[in-house]
C-alpha cells in the first residue's frame, strides 16, 4: 500500500531533476554554442573580406596614353610642333621614348613601334585610380588577369587587356612614362624639360571595337564606366559610343561598324586621342603660329562640339575638341557632365 506513493514521488523528483541539465551536459551545450558563435564570427569576417575585395576603387580619369610611332625622332618633332614648340631636352634624342607632359598632369608618351605597321598605334591608355592595391584585389575578385609593370623609375602600373585586346593600365599617382632602356636617366631629362603644357588635357581616347557585348561587360559591369553619348553620321545609326569613367568626366569612345580589314589611315582615324580646349578657333590660330600644316579646318561635330583633326606622321588622329557642346547633339542626349578645363 505504501509503494505507489513512493513511486510517484520518485517519478516526480526525477521529472523535476531532468529539467536541470547535468554539469557535463551543460558543458557540452556551452561548447556547442561557443562553436556556433566562433563559426559566425569567422563567417562574418570572411564576408567582410569578400565585400572589401569586391569594392572597386575610384577611377577618376585618363592619366595618359602611349602611342607607337615608326620614326621616333620625326614624330617627336611633330608633337613638339603641335603641343610644345619651346620643348627642349638635353638627353631625349638619345632615348627610345619621348614624353610630353600636359598641364593637367597627363602624359602623351611616344614609343618606337616594336614591329612594322602594328594594327593599333594607340598602344596603351592609362587611368587614375585612388588605390592601386585595392584595384588589384578587385580585379582578382572579378577574375580579371593583370600584370604589374614599371611606369617610370619609381612606380608601378597594373595592366590588363580588354576583351578586344586593347591595353589599359591603372596608376595611382605620377605622370606616365613609356617603359624603355636607361629609364632613370631619361626620366630625369624629361622632368627637367617639361613643366607641363598649360591649357591642354586629354578628355577621351577612342579605339576600334569588334565585340561590343563583351566590351560592355568589361567596361560597364566590371569597371563601372557610364554612358555619356552615342551617335553616327546619320541620325538613325550608331558609329561612336562614349563611356565616361565612373568617377570623373573623361571617356573612352567605341568606334564600331567598321570594315573587317581597315587600312592604316582608317585605323589611325579610329584609334585616336582627343585634347580638350576652350576655344577651337583660338587653338587653330595658335597651331598655325606654331608652324603646323593643317589639312582640315575646324568643324562642328555631330555631338554638337567644335573639333579640329590633326594627324601625326603615322596617321594617328589627334583631335582637338571643345569641352562643351555649342548646340544640341544628334542621335542621343548627353547623360553625364561635361569635362572642364
Main-chain dihedrals φ then ψ at residue 99, nearest 5 degrees: -120, 140
Predicted local confidence at residue 49, as pLDDT: 45
Cross-strand bridge partners of residue 69: 112
Options 3.30.930.10, 3.30.9.10, 2.60.120.680, 3.10.180.10; CATH for 59-322 is: 3.10.180.10
* 41: three-class secondary structure by DSSP: helix
Binning pLDDT at 50, 70 and 90, where does residue 47 land?
very low
- pLDDT tens per residue, range 187-218: 333 333 344 576 799 999 999 999 999 999 99
**Would the pLDDT of 48 be above 50?**
no
**Whole-prediction pTM value?**
0.79
Residues in CB range of 207: below 8 A, 6 or more apart: 120, 122, 125, 164, 166, 252, 253, 254, 255, 270, 271
Could you say which DSSP state residue 186 is in?
A: H
**Would the pLDDT of 278 be above 90?**
yes
Nearest to 138 by CA among 248, 46, 50: 50
Distance (Å, whole) CA 303 – CA 289 = 28
Distance (Å, whole) CA 311 – CA 315 = 5
Q: Strands 317-322, 272-277: parallel, antiparallel or unpaired by DSSP?
A: parallel
Asked if 107 and 63 count as a contact pair (C-beta separation under 8 A), the reply is yes
**Would the pLDDT of 4 be above 80?**
no
The proportion of the chain whose per-residue pLDDT surpasses 90, expressed as a percent, equals 67
Main-chain dihedrals φ then ψ at residue 2, nearest 5 degrees: -95, -10
Range 177-182 contact pairs with CB under 8 angstroms and sequence separation of 24 or more:
177/97, 177/99, 177/107, 177/109, 177/151, 177/152, 178/66, 178/97, 178/99, 178/109, 178/110, 178/111, 179/97, 179/149, 179/150, 179/151, 180/95, 180/96, 180/97, 180/111, 181/95, 181/96, 182/95
Asked if 70 and 110 count as a contact pair (C-beta separation under 8 A), the reply is no
**Would the pLDDT of 1 be above 50?**
no
Predicted local confidence at residue 28, as pLDDT: 60
**Would the pLDDT of 72 be above 70?**
yes
Span of 31-40, 153-162, 296-305 with lowest mean pLDDT: 31-40
**Would the pLDDT of 306 be above 80?**
yes
Predicted local confidence at residue 176, as pLDDT: 56
**pLDDT (average), residues 252-261:** 96
- pLDDT tens per residue, range 6-41: 444 444 444 444 445 565 665 565 455 655 444 444
Predicted local confidence at residue 199, as pLDDT: 76
Question: Distances in Å between the alpha carbon of 169 and those of 91, 229, 339?
Answer: 27, 24, 21
Can you read off the three cell numbers belonging to residue 296?
582640315
Q: Which range, 47-51, 159-163, 232-236, is most confident?
A: 159-163
Amino acid at each position: 500500500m505504501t509503494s505507489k506513493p513512493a513511486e510517484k514521488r520518485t517519478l516526480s523528483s526525477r521529472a523535476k531533476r531532468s529539467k536541470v541539465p547535468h554539469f557535463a551536459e551543460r558543458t557540452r551545450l556551452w561548447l556547442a554554442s561557443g562553436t556556433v558563435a566562433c563559426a559566425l564570427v569567422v563567417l562574418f569576417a570572411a564576408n567582410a573580406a569578400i565585400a572589401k575585395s569586391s569594392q572597386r576603387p575610384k577611377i577618376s580619369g585618363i592619366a595618359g596614353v602611349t602611342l607607337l610611332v615608326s620614326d621616333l625622332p620625326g614624330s617627336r618633332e611633330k608633337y613638339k610642333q603641335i603641343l610644345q614648340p619651346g620643348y627642349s631636352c638635353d638627353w631625349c634624342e638619345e632615348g627610345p621614348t619621348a614624353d610630353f607632359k600636359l598641364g593637367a598632369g597627363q602624359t602623351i608618351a611616344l614609343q618606337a613601334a616594336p614591329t612594322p605597321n602594328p594594327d593599333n598605334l594607340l598602344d596603351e591608355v592609362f587611368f587614375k585610380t585612388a588605390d592601386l592595391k585595392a584595384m588589384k584585389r578587385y580585379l582578382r575578385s572579378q577574375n580579371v588577369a593583370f600584370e604589374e609593370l614599371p611606369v617610370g623609375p619609381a612606380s608601378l602600373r597594373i595592366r590588363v587587356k580588354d576583351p578586344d585586346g586593347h591595353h589599359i593600365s591603372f596608376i595611382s599617382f605620377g605622370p606616365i612614362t613609356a617603359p624603355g632602356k636607361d629609364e632613370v636617366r631619361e626620366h630625369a631629362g624629361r622632368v627637367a624639360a617639361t613643366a607641363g603644357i598649360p591649357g591642354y588635357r586629354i578628355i577621351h581616347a577612342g579605339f576600334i571595337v569588334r565585340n561590343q557585348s563583351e566590351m560592355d561587360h568589361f567596361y560597364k559591369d566590371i569597371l563601372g564606366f557610364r554612358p555619356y553619348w552615342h551617335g553616327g553620321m546619320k541620325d538613325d545609326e550608331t558609329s561612336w559610343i562614349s563611356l565616361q569613367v565612373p568617377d570623373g568626366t573623361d571617356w573612352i569612345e567605341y568606334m564600331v561598324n567598321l570594315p573587317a580589314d581597315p587600312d592604316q589611315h582608317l585605323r589611325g582615324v579610329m584609334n585616336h586621342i582627343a585634347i580638350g580646349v576652350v576655344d577651337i578657333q583660338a587653338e587653330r590660330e595658335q597651331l598655325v603660329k606654331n608652324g603646323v600644316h593643317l589639312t582640315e579646318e575646324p568643324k562642328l561635330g555631330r555631338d554638337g562640339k567644335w573639333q579640329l583633326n590633326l594627324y601625326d606622321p603615322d596617321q594617328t588622329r589627334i583631335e582637338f575638341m571643345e569641352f562643351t557642346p555649342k548646340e544640341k547633339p544628334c542621335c542621343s542626349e548627353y547623360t553625364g557632365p561635361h569635362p572642364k578645363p
